[in-house]
Amino acid sequence: MKRGMIDMIKRLIVGVYQSNCYIITIDKEAVIIDPGDQGNKIDKYLKEHELQVLAILLTHGHIDHIGATDYLVTNYHCPVYIHQEDIPFIDDVDLNLSNSLHPYVMKAKINQITKDLKINSNFNFIFHHLPGHTPGSCMIEWLNHNIVFSGDVLFKGSIGRYDLPQGSHYDTKVTLEKLKLLNPEWIIKPGHGDETTLKEELRDNPFLKS
């Protein structure tokens, strides 16, 4: 990781599901990953640090990862990116699970993505499509930094559920095998809970043990 060029990766824990929202900041420019709730809390941090929001990246389409997107887009007029397979979740309250809270249909324009996203020279990402939790679940790699935002694909000591609408046990099993082939030096920043490394998870996570 090139620490000299990183000002900060801020984790804000938001909403009833205690989701991790991440704000990556370099030179007063910011990219937000998974603004799941409490848009006012996220906005307060952005304003206090006088940040320009370049983009919002979504690891998948569940309410606890997308719920503050419209609030932030209204204030910052930034583009939003999600894997194309999770586009149906954006405006379906049953798929995005907001039917059990406050029904949420995203109004912001969505940019479908399949893999590479270069915002500028500081912010270059790869969306690793790893379905199972949802059809479009991704881990988002920040290139050249060994940092991966894993959403609900992988947690410290666990993995995301596959028994929710359009989840898949089979796809989850395939994803777990793919994880074993990825860079063990990755720092994993999950959608819930504390960070870990892929090396630690390959060693200790019961779902990844052969």
Q: Quote the CA–CA distance of 50 and 70 in Å, as a whole number.
A: 20
Reported as a pLDDT band with limits 50, 70 and 90, residue 7 is low
Minimal CA–CA distance to 81: which of 127, 15, 21?
127
For the whole model, what pTM was predicted? 0.95
**84 versus 2: which is more confidently predicted?**
84
**Strand order in 52-57's β-sheet?**
8-14, 19-26, 29-33, 52-57, 80-83, 110-113
Alpha carbons within 13 angstroms on the beta-carbon side of residue 135 total 11
Total count of residues recorded for the chain: 210
Residue pLDDT, tens place only, 12-62: 999 999 999 999 999 999 999 999 999 999 999 999 999 999 999 999 999
d(CA 186, CA 122): 18
The superfamily CATH assigns to domain 3-204 is Ribonuclease Z/Hydroxyacylglutathione hydrolase-like (3.60.15.10)
- pLDDT > 70? residue 4: no
Residue 19 · residue 30 · CB < 8 Å:
no
Please, is 86 exposed, middle or buried when counting C-beta atoms within 10 Å of its C-beta (0-12, 13-18, 19+)? buried
- Write out pLDDT tens, residues 139-162: 999 998 999 999 999 999 999 999
- Domains of the chain, by residue range, sit at 3-204
Please name every residue paired with 125 in a beta bridge, in sequence order, or none if there are none. Answer: 117, 142
